[in-house]
Structure 1
Amino acid sequence: MEDCSQKYSCRTAKKTLEWINAIVTFIKPYAFLTNAHVTNFFTHKLWQSIDPDWLHCLRNEPVQNLLLIPCGIIQEHWPASLKEFVLDLKCLAFPREQAHLNKLFPGVNVVSLNSVLAQGMNFKKKHEVEVLSAVVSSIANSVGAQTIVDVGAGQGYLAQVLSFQYQHSVVAIDACSHHGTVMEKRAERIKKHYTAQMRKHYPEIGIPNVPKTITSRVMSIDMLKALTSMSPHIDNVKRPELIGQVADDKTSLILAGLHACGDLSVTMLKTFIECKDVKAVVSIGCCYNLLSEGCLDIAGSQCGFPMSYGVKSAGISLGKSSRDLACQSAERWRILKEDAGLHNFELHAFRAAFQMVLCKYYPEIITSSPSIGRQGKVLRRQQQRRILQSSINCEEGDYSGSALYSHEFSCNGGTSGNETAAANKFLLFEKFSQSGLSCLGLKSLQETHFHEIWKEAEPFTVW
């Protein structure tokens, strides 16, 4: 079979369009799945639209093999059509290998944040800000930009590192007034620290730069152009109607965004193309499922997806469920151990089965697209703790009954263990459903028969 790494690329516009069209051709026959939400697996009987040979094969496949499917790893005994599907999918997927920073940006020096700048950041956020601030600073210096605009600045982590550590002039824009207030208070605390340090060691330098904050929702390219044209030397602004009074035509800019949500990333890219004062854009997007979509036939459309003429010409539309699905990184499954993977699948089954409870007993709530995701996260953490305790008990030879879930079966063996595991799984589903109802402000009705619902879902939760 042709090497996937050579089959598609974005080296030219023609090759990129070939890749786009190949993806469109591939996904169209599976629209019934990509347009469906996982919660409707049982309510819409989605399994009836799947190739019966595939279904039979995958239902009898070990969990560990299922976890490897997103990596393009197939099994020899699979039907030929299923093997072809998985391999084609792998070829069409965008590569997710981590890039080497020094190869992309030679000479970039990532500086570890001190405790003052890192206050309030978790480990992940600290790492992101350290790397992105170094990259943005390097690009700003290389293009000679006078000001960096942090779009969707949040509480100002990136803006403040660029300002205090790298000594750039920074304007921070965020739609939330609360974020703006927190950002300013945080900046003042950091400013006191750096002012004291400068007076002690570099008295000739003076007071350090503080990021300027603007509270405004960026709704359009024109608005972002106006916001980014503001002089960095003015006081913090919270009223966008003042923008026209403080424009500075001599300012060259860089747009930067860490987790620029939904259409905000698109607006930044379009502003970069249309605004000559913006010399570069550095954006780490997020929440792609929140991109606006449509307007395929409207010239000059400002919808977030699709952006390119190539995708528009392909006539593809995704829809909310497909965009939500596209945000899930199934490749992360490969790092899961068997127990973790199994319980991850089970929680999806619980949520899909719970949808049957809502449809049957609380149909009025379905129209509001209920969200109970955090209930699943809480249950997952509880399960992980019990799995860990179960493993310890097995290693110590303690079979007193504290080992729950399917791991109990692997310790005890035998039919009785299998029956116990099945009973425990139902109890977990019942607990999940009760928590979900509570989350939605609903009370369990006397006539709610969780066991009848679970009987329909259970065959899809046995591996």
Structure 2
Amino acid sequence: MDTNAEKKYFFEALSLLYEMQWLHNIAVTEILTKASLDAIPKEWIEHLRILENEELNNLIARRTIKSEWPDSLKTYVEKCQNINRLPLVQTSPFRIELPQKFKIGLSRKKQHEIIHLAHLVHTQCKLHDIQTIVDLGAGLGYVCQMLHYLYGYRVLGLERDKENVNRACIRQEKLYPDSLTKVKYIHCDVTRDSADTIEFILQQEFPGFTDACLIGLHACGDLSASASRIFCKIKSAKLFILISCCYHKLSISKNIQTPLQEKQYFHNFPTSNCLRETIAGHNFDIGQFLRVPFLRLACQESADKWHDMSKEKHDEHSFHVLARAVLELYSQQSRRP
């Protein structure tokens, strides 16, 4: 890896995020109470408000620029395009029809997620001849059961919520009794120091196992960072497949209240040594502009969603955003003496 190239990229991204923090450094519900809409340059509004629906979609999804736009808007869109590193992922379409008992309590979105995660895990485990999987943050055990049902894996589901563990076990006994010896649900509060505990549980539940794959679906907040450290410490863990979420729920190490805003610094952000060095080398105060609103935005849907969004859908989304902002404004004004 070219460290200098990476640092250059981080510097450009941080500079843009700092410069344009008026766009992302405020919670959506506060766009009226903090008057963030007033920060939009008037020359931008003049051009953006007359865009046709398809032009608006192309601006967001494809970073399409119009020649008559002001230079400041064109420069912003070009910078966004330059720091965009999301790869175009080509996936082979496949369809699995699940028995009805697997659909109980599962939305279509959830079915899609666990089916595709199970397929990804199987594809990778097959390459490395791995038969044992550890699900960190197993919830109600949907992924665990799917991996066993579709591909025959032994799965250890670790979950910190005792009620979820109990419900997963009840669901298993009722719907999947033939998996009782292959799928285990254990109460375990997974932290960065849980490697030895997890290895001990693995040996207890699946004696004689060799290699394992660690997985996490919607590994919320600090769990993603903890899971990464656990993977580095467990010798038998040969694969690690993680889908993170809710970055804004990372634990905060320090709050500093200033006259203008609250600065927020997180225990597990950033985790990249290169990014930390870039921040230190250029004296970026990330507690000022990479706060909870930024981390919340980072785990939202990608711009691809805008490709074919209809005007009706845009109107519906706009209404809901502004309705929440109006309620927040009303609640604040009603509290004033």
Structure 1 and Structure 2 fold alike (TM over 0.5): yes
Counterpart AA for 1:277? S
Partner Cα separation in structure 2 for residue 292 and residue 304 of structure 1: 7
- Counterpart residue number, 1:148: 133
Partner Cα separation in structure 1 for residue 327 and residue 234 of structure 2: 50
- Counterpart residue number, 1:26: 16
Partner Cα separation in structure 1 for residue 148 and residue 194 of structure 2: 24
- Counterpart residue number, 2:143: 158
The TM-score with structure 2 as length reference comes to 0.82
- Counterpart residue number, 2:320: 347
Q: CA deviation at 1:30?
A: 1.6
Q: CA deviation at 1:96?
A: 5.6
Q: CA deviation at 1:183?
A: 0.9
Any conservation in 1 of the 2:173–2:180 contact (CA below 8 Å)?
no
How many residue pairs match? The answer is 317
- Counterpart residue number, 2:34: 44
Deviates more, 1:81-90 or 1:320-329: 320-329
Matched, 1:35 2:25: yes
- Judged with a 3 Å threshold, the aligned counterparts in structure 2 of structure 1 residues 15 and 276 are, in CA distance, closer, same or farther, namely farther
Q: Which runs of 5+ in 2 are unaligned?
A: 255-264
Task: Please point out which of 157, 164, 180 is paired with 1:172.
Answer: 157
Partner Cα separation in structure 2 for residue 38 and residue 208 of structure 1: 45
Any conservation in 2 of the 1:169–1:232 contact (CA below 8 Å)?
no
The TM-score with structure 1 as length reference comes to 0.61
Counterpart AA for 1:22? E
Highest RCO, 1 vs 2 (Cα 8 Å, sep ≥ 6): 2
Any conservation in 2 of the 1:110–1:134 contact (CA below 8 Å)?
no
Query: Whose radius of gyration is greater, 1 or 2?
Result: 1
- Judged with a 3 Å threshold, the aligned counterparts in structure 2 of structure 1 residues 330 and 142 are, in CA distance, closer, same or farther, namely closer
Matches within 5 A, 1:327-366: 327-329=299-301, 331=303, 332-363=305-336
SS of 1:314 mapped into structure 2: helix
- Counterpart residue number, 2:221: 262
Matches within 5 A, 1:370-381: none
Any conservation in 1 of the 2:148–2:183 contact (CA below 8 Å)?
yes
Partner Cα separation in structure 1 for residue 114 and residue 36 of structure 2: 42
Q: CA deviation at 1:249?
A: 9.1
Any conservation in 1 of the 2:194–2:230 contact (CA below 8 Å)?
no
SS of 1:221 mapped into structure 2: coil
- Counterpart residue number, 1:308: 272
- Counterpart residue number, 1:454: none
Matches within 5 A, 1:29-428: 29-71=19-61, 72-95=63-86, 97-101=88-92, 111-192=96-177, 194=178, 209-218=181-190, 220-231=191-202, 233-234=204-205, 251-292=210-251, 303-315=267-279, 317=286, 318-329=290-301, 331=303, 332-363=305-336
Partner Cα separation in structure 1 for residue 77 and residue 212 of structure 2: 45
Deviates more, 1:78-87 or 1:316-325: 316-325
Deviation readout 1:46-71 (Å, 9 max, x if unpaired): 24433232233324444543343222
Partner Cα separation in structure 1 for residue 323 and residue 38 of structure 2: 19
Counterpart AA for 1:323? L
Counterpart AA for 1:347? H
- Counterpart residue number, 2:259: none
